[in-house]
Structure 1
Amino acid sequence: MGNFKLIVSDFVMSFMWVWSGVLIKMFVYNILGLGHQPSGEVIKGALYIINMFYFAFLGKVTKGGAYNPLTILSAAISGDFSNFIFTAGARIPAQVIGSITGVRLIIETFPEIGLGPRLNVDLHQGALTEGLLTFAIVIISLGSAEKIPGSFFRKTWISSVSKLALHILGSDLTGGCMNPASVVGWAYARGDHVTKEHILVYWLAPMKATVLAVLAFKLLVRRQKGEKGNLKDKSE
């Protein structure tokens, strides 16, 4: 029953996530009429961080629900094999379906809306960009979880500001997405979700970066613990 609730939570949160991004942009651009003005970008960034706090709260309430495959993939890699299979075979597909459903409803409701992030550079540069952005945010997330246990506000604040900064860095190149499920929703609407560019840039590169980040973090933590152990032995 717990696994089923997680799958439903992932679907609903992914559906809500694609909607939240569109509603924030519509509020800033259409209602406030600020367009791409500096004040509009500041308000959009502030709303994005508030939105991140809201979804972090939802994840806590649902006891693990998520809208980003990379978030649960990093945890699954560190867990047992059965958890990895459940994540890859059930939770990630639920997030993808939730995102696709959300985007389709958005387009039906607001036909004038754009069709999401697009690759604005060549294939290799795009894959490298998404990979580096993902590697950075996974390392930051793992580090905050390791060094700041139990502090919901501080961990969410660090994660939110970091994601916003990385998103801004990559927005003109790939969209700075770091969320394969969200991207596939828009790509499916455009009909290019099975192209080489989409699969390599928005799926394979971030997932490889996630695996590398988890392995690198484990090695770093293991090394730090080993150094502390050696210092303790010497002091004794």
Structure 2
Amino acid sequence: MRAMEPDRHSYISGVLVMEKTKLLYQQMYSGKVFTWIHLMPIFCSSMVRAQIQTNSDSKNLVTHKPTPTSEALSGVTVEPTRKSRSDSERPESLSKDLFTMSNLSVSDPELEKPANGSYSDVYEKYVLPCIAEFLGTAFFIFNGCASVTENTEGTGHLQPALAHGLALGIAVAIFARVSGGHMNPAVSLGAALIGGLNIFLLIPYWAAQLCGGMVGAALAKAITSDVKFFNATGAAFKSIERDEQVGSAIVAEVVMTAYLVMTVCMGTINKKSTTTLAPLCIGLSVTVGILAGGSVSGGCMNPARALGSALVANYWDYHWVYWVGPITGSLIVGLLLRVFIGDQKIRVLMT
């Protein structure tokens, strides 16, 4: 009977480990059904390990000869303790065994993540956002330029305003979780100034947006008849005709771009004011800007929009206004958020 005790101990230990393992993986994968058949390999390996541990401990108890100590000399009996793994160590080792079993169809997504520094990480962090910015800007500017060249007589700025605003809102909603949904060099600059964009991505973002603007304007030209394209000057901004209009046009671009960049930064980056309605608000800010300042400066607010149409139409009169105005407006918003109205993470003063 004494010789059978190790086997009995190993069987009971295996059953206990089996029950703990079953409960552990039912908690980790709720909804999955684990049966004894699925966990049989672990049960067998657990029994073998328990048997080996029991035999080893039995030998240690037999061959161990306690040395005389102060407790022994004083008449106190010291019993040898059996060293075993704690319960907190068992689930970790068992989970490793489970995930290496090829006959089980469970897997942990965290274990399948690529190692840091892999090509997948580089693509996700640096390449994919630039591709999203390129595509989003191309779609946005295509619709915007097409709405200008195909503008119906009598609608004024209403058709371009709605087309630009709706197209931008849709593009932001689609690509916001990939790249932030900027579609505008001025917006990217404002986001970088307040910490919403990695500063090393600013130049790649600008390059992607400018290229997307050129592609979008070229596609708009491809679907427009020569007469309409010529009459609309290729959707280029031609509201400024004299030097006396430059001052008011720059002010209009600064204010309208500041309103747009403020909407983006406060609606998507500033923690206290983020909202799920951000794409709608961003699109509406462009619509409002075109309706308000379309007759003053054209309502550009976007250097990529200005460059694409100017390049396709070869119209460069006062083109610099549509760079100076939006960039200045973006710098003002960055200063305001950093000093006054940003949250504690953004503000550099009174934090």
TM-score by length of 2: 0.53
Question: Distance in 2 between the 1:73 and 1:21 partners?
Answer: 22
- Structure 1 stretches of 4+ with a deviation exceeding 4 A read 23-28, 43-49, 222-226
Question: Which of 173, 179, 184 is the equivalent residue of 2:307?
Answer: 184
- 1:129 Cα deviation (Å)? 1.4
Question: Which of 198, 211, 220 is the equivalent residue of 2:319?
Answer: 198
Question: Does 1:36 pair with 2:154?
Answer: yes
1:224–1:9 CA distance, 2 compared to 1 (3 A): closer
1:216 aligns to what?
Answer: 336
C-alpha contact 1:167 1:177 (8 A) present in aligned 2:
yes
Question: Distance in 2 between the 1:208 and 1:221 partners?
Answer: 18
Query: What number of residue pairs does the alignment pair up?
Result: 214
1:83 aligns to what?
Answer: 198
1:77–1:205 CA distance, 2 compared to 1 (3 A): same
1:140–1:109 CA distance, 2 compared to 1 (3 A): closer
2:135 aligns to what?
Answer: 12
Identify which of structures 1 and 2 has the higher relative contact order when contacts are C-alpha pairs closer than 8 Å and 6+ apart. 1
- 1:27 Cα deviation (Å)? 7.3
Residue segments in structure 2 that go unaligned for 5+ positions in a row? 1-122
Residue segments in structure 1 that go unaligned for 5+ positions in a row? 30-34, 230-236
- 1:28 Cα deviation (Å)? 6.8
Deviation digits for residues 55-105 of structure 1, max 9, x if unmatched? 12222253434321122111112239x9324312x2111211121122123
State the structure with more CA Rg: 2
User: What RMSD, in angstroms, separates the aligned Cα atoms of the two structures?
Assistant: 3.2
- 1:217 Cα deviation (Å)? 2.2
Q: Which moved more, 1:172-181 or 1:106-115?
A: 106-115
2:264 aligns to what?
Answer: 141
Question: Does 1:53 pair with 2:169?
Answer: yes
Instruction: Using the aligned pairs only, state the percent identity.
Output: 18
1:32 aligns to what?
Answer: none
Deviation digits for residues 204-235 of structure 1, max 9, x if unmatched? 22112201111112222269999xx9xxxxxx
